[in-house]
Amino acid sequence: MAKTGVFDSDPTVMTKPTSELKKELQRLVKAIVEDDDYSTETIDQAKNTLIAIRDFKLRKRSHSLKSPDTISCPHEFRCPLSKELMRDPVVVASGQTYDRPFIQKWLKAGSRTCPLTQQVLSHTILTPNHLIREMISQWCKCTGIELSDPDLYLNEDGITAADRDHFLSLLGKMSLSLPDQKVAAKELRMLTKRMPSFRALFGESLDSIPQLLRPLSEGKSQTGVHPEVQEDVITTLLNLSIHDNNKKLVAETPMVIPVLMDALKSGTIETRSNAAAALFTLSAIDSNKALIGKSGALKPLVDLLEEGNPLAMKDVASAIFNLCIIHENRTRVVRDGVVGVILEKITNRTHVDELLTLLAMFATHQKAVEEMGEIGAVPCLLSIIRENACDRTKENSIAILHAICYNDRTKWKEMREEEKMYGTLSKLAQTGTSRAKRKASGILERINRAVNLTHTA
C-alpha cells in the first residue's frame, strides 16, 4: 500500500516541536542535494517532515481564527468609525469613545467635529478610556479571543501602549527628587528629538506640559532651577513645538511663555538659544505672535541679541523677525531698543546679512526710520554697500537708505558727498538687483533734483 501521510512513516513526528522538524528537514534536503546515492526513503522522510510542518502551521492558524469578526461583540466595544473591536479606546471632547488610530485619522484630515454627534470639538486632545479598555480586555478573556498585545499595538503615529505608559512614567518623575527629574528630563529631550510620535503625545492631555515644566516652576520658588534640568526641559519644549498640532496648545499653556522668558535671561547659553528657537517655532501661528508679544517676551530677546553670543544670535534674530511680522510687535520691539542694538552689531560687522534683513523690516516703521537717521545709520549702510559682495545685503541696505532719504531731507547731503567721492549709488543703480536699482535711482533722482532746485534758486 502506498504511503498516504506522515503517520504511515512515523506516528511520533507530530509530537516534535517545529524547530526539530525544521532541522530534520534541513538534514534530509542536504542529503538529497549533496549525496547522489540517496534512497527513495530519504525523499519520503523529507516529504513527511514537510507535511508535518505544514500541518502544524494549519493547526496554529485554526486556533487563531477565533476573532471579534467571527463572533458578535458588544456594540459599545466597537469603534463607531471602523466598526471593529477597539484596541486603544480614547475619549474626545464631546465625550464619545473611538479607537485611537481612526479618530486620529479623522482629525488629521482636518475635521474638528465629533463623527457621531457632529458637535464642534473644543479641543482635539484624546484621553485614554481605561474603563472601556479594561472591559474589552475582560470580555476577550471570557470569550477566548486573542487580541494583539496592546503593548505592541501601533497607532497611526507609531506609538504603542507601552510607549505611552513610559511617557506618563517619565512625566510622573518630573515631580519627584532632583535625580529622578534629571533622568526623566534627559530622556524626554532625547525621545522628543528622535521620535515625532513622542512630540504628539504631549497633545493628548492638558496636564502633560504643566507636568514637564514642574521642576522649573517649583525650583524657582524653592532652591532655584537646576541648570541641566532647565536646559533639557526648554529643549524638550522646543522639540515638541515643532509638531504643528502642538503649537497652539504649547503657547496657550499659561506657564510656557513665562518659563521661556526666564530661560532667555538665565541658564546655559544653549538653554537661552533654545528658548529663542522655541519662540521662533511657536510664532509660526499668528495668534501666537500676538500672545508672545503681549507677554513681554520681546524685551528679553532684544537683551540677548545685545549680548551678542554667537551661539544665540541667529535664533534670536529669527525669533524677532517672525514675531514682528505683525505690526503691533514691531512697535513694541522698536520701543524696546532693537534698532540701536542691530545698528551696533552691523557697525561691528556682526551677522551683517541676517541683521540687515531684520533692520529692513523696520524700514516701514516711522519711529524706527527716525531713530536710524538719528544714530548714524546712513554712513554705516553706505559703507556696507561699498564693501559687501552679497546682492541681498546691498538690496536691504539701499531699501533702508531709501526710507531714511524720504523721511529726513538733512541726510541728502551725506548721500551727495558719498556719490561724489565713490559713486556708490550710481554703481548700484547699474549693477544691483532690480529692487536695488529702483531704490538707488529713486535716491539719486531726489538728491539731484534738490541740487538743480538750489542752482535755479
Note the pLDDT tens digit of each residue in 211-230: 999 999 875 655 678 999 99
| CA distance linking residue 139 with residue 6, whole number of Å | 39
Each residue of 164-210: pLDDT tens digit?
A: 888 999 999 999 999 999 999 999 999 999 888 888 888 877 889 99
Fold of 337-456: Leucine-rich Repeat Variant (1.25.10)
Yes or no: is domain 162-327 CATH 3.40.50.300? Answer: no
User: What is the model's pLDDT at position 215?
Assistant: 93
Identical fold, 162-327 and 337-456: yes
Q: What average pLDDT does range 22-38 have in this prediction?
A: 79
Residue 224 has, within 13 A of its CA and on its CB side, a CA count of: 5
pLDDT of 158: 62
| Cα(380)–Cα(271) distance, integer angstroms | 33
How far apart are the C-alpha atoms of 246 and 202, rounded to whole Å?
A: 8
pLDDT of residue 187: 96
Distance between CA 315 and CA 210 in Å, rounded?
25
- Grid coordinates representing 56 are 502544524
Report pLDDT for 33: 78
Residue 402 is predicted with a pLDDT of 95
CA 278 to chain centre: 10
Angle at 92 between CA 91 and CA 98, to 5 degrees: 55
Angle between helices 161-173 and 178-194 (to 10 degrees): 140
pTM recorded for the entire structure: 0.69
CA dist 447 → 165, 375, 409, 444 (Å)? 71, 21, 9, 5
**Cα–Cα separations (whole angstroms), residue 234 to 24, 194, 279, 312:** 59, 16, 11, 14
C-alpha cell at 258: 513665562
Name which of 398, 357, 406, 361 is nearest 380 in CA terms.
398
pLDDT at residue 6 in the model: 35
Instruction: Judge: domain 75-145, CATH 3.40.190.80.
Output: no
Domain ranges of the chain: 23-55, 75-145, 162-327, 337-456
Which tens digits make up the pLDDT trace of 74-132? Answer: 888 999 988 888 888 999 989 999 998 888 888 877 788 899 998 888 887 888 888 99
The pLDDT, as a whole number, for residue 11 is 45
pLDDT at 326 > cutoff 80? yes
Question: Does residue 387 carry a pLDDT above 90?
Answer: yes
Q: How confident is the model at residue 455 (pLDDT cuts 50, 70, 90)?
A: very low
- The Cα 332–Cα 129 span in angstroms is 46
Examine the pLDDT at 450 and tell me if it is beyond 80.
no
User: Quick one: three-class SS letters along the chain?
Assistant: CCCCCHHHHCCCHHHCCHHHHHHHHHHHHHHHHHCCCCCHHHHHHHHHHHHHHHHHHHHHHHHCCCCCCCCCCCHHHECCCCCCECCCEEECCCCCEEEHHHHHHHHHCCCCECCCCCCECCCCCCEECHHHHHHHHHHHHHHCCCCCCCCCCCCCCCCCHHHHHHHHHHHHHCCCCHHHHHHHHHHHHHHHHHCHHHHHHHHHCCCHHHHHHHHHHHHHHCCCCCHHHHHHHHHHHHHHHCCHHHHHHHHHCCCHHHHHHHHHHCCCHHHHHHHHHHHHHHCCCHHHHHHHHHHCCHHHHHHHHHHCCHHHHHHHHHHHHHHCCCHHHHHHHHHCCHHHHHHHHHHCCCCHHHHHHHHHHHHHCHHHHHHHHHCCHHHHHHHHHHHCCCHHHHHHHHHHHHHHHHHCHHHHHHHHHHHHHHCHHHHHHHHCCHHHHHHHHHHHHHHHHHHHHHHHC
